[in-house]
Chains A and B, each alone.
Chain A
Amino acid sequence: NAGVTQTPKFQVLKTGQSMTLQCAQDMNHEYMSWYRQDPGMGLRLIHYSVGAGITDQGEVPNGYNVSRSTTEDFPLRLLSAAPSQTSVYFCASSYLLAVTYEQYFGPGTRLTVT
Chain B
Amino acid sequence: QQPVQSPQAVILREGEDAVINCSSSKALYSVHWYRQKHGEAPVFLMILLKGGEQKGHDKISASFNEKKQQSSLYLTASQLSYSGTYFCGTEAQGGSEKLVFGKGTKLTVNP
**Bound state CA distance, A107 and B37, in angstroms?**
12
Q: Are A56 and B102 closer than 8 Å at their CB atoms?
A: no
A108 adjacent to B41 (CB under 8 Å): yes
Q: Does B27 contact A (CB under 8 A)?
A: no
Question: Is there a chain A Cβ closer than 8 Å to B95's Cβ?
Answer: yes
Q: Which of B44, B97, B103 contacts A33 (CB 8 A)?
A: B97
Q: Which residues of A contact B41 (CB under 8 A)?
A: 90, 105-108
Residues of B within 8 A of A56 (CB): 98
Knowing A90-B42, A96-B95, the reply to whether A45 touches B100 (Cβ < 8 A) is yes
Which of chain B's residues have a CB closer than 8 A to the CB of A44? Answer: 101
B residues near A (Cβ < 8 Å) are 2, 32, 40-44, 47, 49, 87, 89, 95-104
Q: List 26 A-B contacts (CB under 8 A).
A: A31-B97, A33-B97, A42-B101, A42-B102, A42-B104, A43-B42, A43-B99, A43-B101, A45-B98, A45-B99, A48-B98, A50-B95, A50-B96, A56-B98, A58-B98, A59-B100, A90-B41, A90-B42, A94-B97, A103-B32, A103-B44, A105-B41, A105-B42, A105-B43, A107-B41, A108-B41
- A residues in contact (CB < 8 Å) with B: 31, 33, 35, 40-45, 48, 50, 56, 58-59, 90, 94, 96, 99, 101-108
